[in-house]
Chains A and B, each alone.
Chain A
Amino acid sequence: DAKTTQPTSMDCAEGRAANLPCNHSTISGNEYVYWYRQIHSQGPQYIIHGLKNNETNEMASLIITEDRKSSTLILPHATLRDTAVYYCIVNFGNEKLTFGTGTRLTIIP
């Protein structure tokens, strides 16, 4: 699996957009970019994934740069319930996931 680099922690004001960056400069052509989050004492929750194109669902948007070496997860209107550790993972799909340390996102009231 290609490695990813994420900031250790971030704060975001409630109601604002939270933009979480991820670098994956060694990603290979067929690897997807996945985002999961883990709220304290719960199992990870799938958020979104993409290969080349930008993706959007009811939870978030994923922006992948043209060279695919980095991506940004966007939570459009952050709420207090979005406080969690966010993991960016690159993977071929249907394989074991390697979790790094992620970004601890804190939503500030």
Chain B
Amino acid sequence: GAVVSQHPSWVICKSGTSVKIECRSLDFQATTMFWYRQFPKQSLMLMATSNEGSKATYEQGVEKDKFLINHASLTLSTLTVTSAHPEDSSFYICSATGRDQETQYFGPGTRLLVL
């Protein structure tokens, strides 16, 4: 139990285009999901907290208009990188809080490369 999936696992896009990443909790309902970003040789950095049915809460320095988060159901949150640029190339990882409301389970990550 407590499996989180992400799609796609990797994506290459041209500069200026938008990319959508999906995060799904497969066997549980997640009222809260989190989006992280990891640059090479660095640790994970939280981008935003997503609660089902409400607006996401963004961390300081993360542009809400550039990184659109939608959490329309208890099993799906999406992150859209709008007008992507090469500096947005990174490893994007989502997590969801499990049934015990204590533990976060992470997806496998999505590697984004913007050319």
Q: Interface extent on A, as a size class?
A: 20 to 34
- Can you list, as one digit per residue, whether each of A53-90 has a CB less than 8 Å from chain B (1) or not (0)? 00000000000000000000000000000000001000
Is the pair B104, A102 in contact by a Cβ cutoff of 8 Å?
Answer: no
Q: Report the contact-size class of chain B (Cβ under 8 Å from the partner).
A: 20 to 34
> Interface segment, A10-18, A19-27, A44-52?
A44-52
Q: A46 contacts which chain B residues (CB < 8 A)?
A: 2, 103-106
Nearest-CB residue, chain A, relative to B4: A43
- Across the interface, which residues of A come within 8 angstroms of B81, CB to CB? none
Q: When the two chains form the complex, which single residue of B43, B101, B107 contacts A99, counting CB atoms closer than 8 Å?
A: B43
Cβ distance A27 to chain B, nearest Cβ, rounded Å: 15
Contact between B102 and A96, CB atoms less than 8 A apart: no
Interface of B is mostly: strand
Q: Is the CB of B101 within 8 A of A96?
A: no
Identify which of B44, B101, B108 contacts A93 (C-beta below 8 A): B101
Cβ of A108: which chain B residues have Cβ within 8 Å of it?
none
> What's the least CB distance linking A97 to chain B, in Å?
6
Q: Is the CB of A101 within 8 A of B43?
A: yes
Chain A residue nearest to B106 in the complex (CB) = A43
Residues of B within 8 A of A102 (CB): 43
Known contacts being A94-B32, A96-B46, is A49 close to B102, with CB within 8 Å?
yes
Q: Which residues of A contact B103 (CB under 8 A)?
A: 34, 46, 49, 93
Interface string of B29-55 (1 = CB under 8 A from A): 000101010000001111001000000
Q: Does B77 contact A (CB under 8 A)?
A: no
A98–B43 Cα distance when bound, in Å, is 9
Within 8 Å by CB of B109, from A32, A42, A99, lies A42
How far apart are the CA atoms of A41 and B91 in the complex, in Å? Answer: 8
6 contacts between A and B (CB under 8 A): A32-B102, A41-B109, A41-B111, A44-B93, A94-B97, A99-B44
